[in-house]
Amino acid sequence: MSLLQIHEPGQTPEPHATGAAVGIDLGTTNSVVAIADAGKVDVVRDAKGSALVPSIVAYTDEGVVVGEAARWMLLDEPDRVVASVKRLMGRSAVDIKALAGTLPYDIAQDGADGGMVRLAVAGRTLSPVEVSADILREVKARAEHALGRPVDRAVVTVPAYFDDAARGATKDAARLAGLEVLRLVNEPTAAALAYGLDKGVEGLYVVYDLGGGTFDVSLLILEKGVFRVVATGGDAALGGDDFDRAVAELFLAERGPETLTSAEAKLVLQSARLAKECLSWQDQGCWAVEIGGRATSHRLDIARLEAAIAPMVERTIALTERVLVEADVTPGEVSGVVLVGGSTRVPLVRRRVAALFGREPLADINPDEVVAAGAALQAEALTVGSGTLLLDVTPLSLGVETMGGLVEKIIPRNAPIPLAQAQEFTTYQDGQTAMMIHVVQGERETVEACRSLARFELHGIPPLVAGAARIRVTFAVDADGLLTVTATERATGIEAEVAVKPSYGLGDGEIERMLRESMVHARDDMTRRLLIEARVEAERALLAVKGALAADGDLLDVASRAPIEGAIAALHDAVKGTDRDAIVTATEALEAAGAPFAQARMDRGIGRALSGVAVDRLAERLDRGANKAATR
Amino acid sequence: MNRRDGDVGGTCWSCGSAVPGDGLFCAACGVVQAPGEADHFARLGLPTGFAVDAVALERAYVERQRRLHPDRFVTRAARERRLSAEQSAAVNEAYATLKQPLERARYLLRLAGRAVAGEDGATIDDPAVLVEAMETREALAEADSTAAVGAVAARTAAAVAGCRDDLALAFAASDLDAAARLTTRLGYLTKLADEVRRRRVGLIGVAS
């Protein structure tokens, strides 16, 4: 397949004749990719038979490493490794600061533009979208390897409780990884699809999905191939990671007060995770923590583990009860409860779910793979066709800010999607021609307690007396759960398409830049070598010019010296970056700026200053540069 | 939903043929059409009236979504994808309106050109409704246990069911004055039922 396929505008060729469509579960802890063929699912596995690709990315000098290998690097070079990046999707720097304690991320300081949070990793500044794209590239490559053909389309799953910003960020990440997103499907819905089809069950089912970083609970009606979500709830920041943190806090309390770096926090969390996992099948154990050259040993048994994580488990149970109450369903009316997500292996979780429903939950599926399997089935249904139908709902209410910072709900949660809801607004001042609309997502009554999705201004409202203009704003939520807004002034019929710029998303320009960057990364090895060579050349040129200035600076007056100093400063800046082209350009600029100076030195025709090798080199290089310039 | 895709007069936007039947698809070229201005009952192929057969409603809803949901159009041209989303959203709106007795009653009154109390500046002037609402609110405020809230919930549910039955009779008799009055009452009762539900959620003790 050629790298680029060019189509005439308006002509739709046989769409994607060669690329395969896969299902991807982009998880907080692990990611899984699967392919369905004629309703049969194949989960892609590595040589050892594991389907789980740890969602961990290491940024090494040799390139980007994803998965198990990156996990190992977490121990040696934690500051080059990013884990659990899903928790940051669609989040702002302010959101992250609001989280208490030492975080296993280095938040970049320069990204404080009010947009999405940026991470400082191994000298680079990365957005969670780029890190997620690296994970997606890896699972895409694995699928391509397993299939023996290119993969260019995917159903990607997201937590049902993901808000608009996090959904948008996930879609952007897939785009960066070279995947067309056929559909964002909610994780519990995907699980229900795979489970329902596999077991051939019908009735009212609850999917309890506790993953590494997110908790979802969905109530669905399964009937004749139709998987209809009735209600959904959850917490986009509650998962196995929080269990790890609770255990890590026990260990740290035993060690006494100390200040942790983010790298050290990652190490403690690793030990804590190991302890938690071991206690799923053994009663107790002893785990080592070594930070700052001080090693300590920590004994943990099931009772202490469960006491530490109980508040979080209780919260999931309460959220489950809430979904039932809101749907007017009693636990007894539920035909079955399906457990999804690695964290449902924790015995306390299983016991509490069983107690709530008065029955053992269904665990006759692999909780780690069922979401990807459902995504793969849906990818096939969307591209090839099938008799199944997924009908989902909005997880969170959408509203607009009204006077006094209050929220007027426009779209309630648990409304079936896609949907379109129009609302009329009017002006409150005579002659008012513009109006600010602030869209928020959440269940609370005040704007502050909800999540800000977008602010936009409507212009061109005809100047009328207050209350006369009738502005009809339509809020549409598509099948991916993403919001778009359009507005029309009804009195005059002026229509305005409003581009909603998400408060925490990425602008189109940013996405384009990342796409460009990602293409550079695709040729990583070569690029890296070229970059290093360019830097070496640049350093040599800088050294040479500085040496020459020190020796023969008296040849230059202020006016002729300024362009050389400017070129030196520019090259210094370029060398700090990783843009090879910029370095080469700046080096050439320095050579060009220095050419008259070099000529003057030659003219001086004296040997006293030509004492250093560096200066000889400069002369050679300047000659070369002049020749090059002449041949252009 | 507006008709901005040139389907006025029931001709296909794509091939120009006349679109027959339910108007969802062109018989000649098979492409999906714009949702048009059909009322919610017509959109779901159900007889207009307050008495809606719940099973028929569900069946009609799923049948329409099977044909119109955007998942069916992923590989189609952009315009078809957009029209399917509009169609699917229109079906969702119709379903959501007809499924809830209160919304259904309000919708029927609007179709009949009646102002609905509590909307469009219409005021509520039925003292019995106000007294009933106040009494239930008091009972709810005093209820401090799951059992007590459950009792209020049961009473409210019974009142809602009774009001719904009366409403069905009023609509069946084409007594729109009674229907309007009962709709107002049902609005209050539904609000109360929501409050009771919120209290029950509150007793679970989980912040949103």
- Reported as a single tens digit per residue, the pLDDT across A390-445 is 999 998 888 888 877 888 889 988 999 999 998 888 888 888 888 888 888 888 87
Chain A residue at shortest CA distance from B62: A226
A325-339 average pLDDT score: 92
DSSP state of B16: -
Å between A185 CA and nearest CA of chain B: 11
Catalytic residue among A164, A209, A242, A244: A209
Q: Tell me, yes or no, if A382 comes closer than 8 A to chain B by beta carbon.
A: yes
Give the model confidence (pLDDT) of A526-537 as tens digits: 566 567 667 777
What was the pLDDT predicted at B87?
Answer: 93
Long-range contacts (CB closer than 8 Å, 24 or more residues apart) made by A583-590: A583/A531, A583/A534, A583/A535, A583/A537, A583/A538, A584/A534, A584/A537, A586/A538, A587/A534, A587/A537, A587/A538, A587/A541, A588/A625, A590/A541, A590/A542, A590/A545, A590/A564
Q: d(Cα B103, Cα B106) in Å, to the nearest integer?
A: 5
Q: d(Cα A581, Cα A574) in Å, to the nearest integer?
A: 9
Give the DSSP H or E segment for A606: none
Q: Tell me, yes or no, if A422 comes closer than 8 A to chain B by beta carbon.
A: no
Q: d(Cα B59, Cα A317) in Å, to the nearest integer?
A: 33
What was the pLDDT predicted at A157?
Answer: 97
A497 tagged catalytic: no
B181-198 average pLDDT score: 85
Residue A76 has pLDDT above 80, yes or no: no
Higher pLDDT pick, A550 / A508:
A550
What was the pLDDT predicted at B123?
Answer: 57
- pTM comes to 0.78
Residue A614 has pLDDT above 80, yes or no: no
Which one of B40, B44, B58, B75 would you mutate to disrupt binding with A, by most A Cβ within 10 Å of its Cβ? B75
- Give me the residue from B66, B70, B93 closest to A479, CB to CB: B70
B79-83 average pLDDT score: 90
What was the pLDDT predicted at B118?
Answer: 58
- Give me the residue from A228, A315, A418 closest to B88, CB to CB: A418
Give the model confidence (pLDDT) of A574-613 as tens digits: 888 878 888 888 998 998 888 888 888 777 754 444 444 4
Give the model confidence (pLDDT) of A240-252 as tens digits: 989 999 999 999 9
Locate tokens 């990046």: which residue?
A: A85
Verify whether the Cβ–Cβ distance B200 to A325 is below 8 Å: yes
Band (A338; pLDDT cuts 50, 70, 90):
very high
Verify whether the Cβ–Cβ distance A321 to B69 is below 8 Å: no
Residue B22 has pLDDT above 80, yes or no: no
Q: Does the interface ipTM go beyond 0.95? A: no
Verify whether the Cβ–Cβ distance B92 to A416 is below 8 Å: yes
Average pLDDT score over chain B? 83
What was the pLDDT predicted at A595?
Answer: 85
What was the pLDDT predicted at B103?
Answer: 92
Verify whether the Cβ–Cβ distance A478 to B85 is below 8 Å: yes
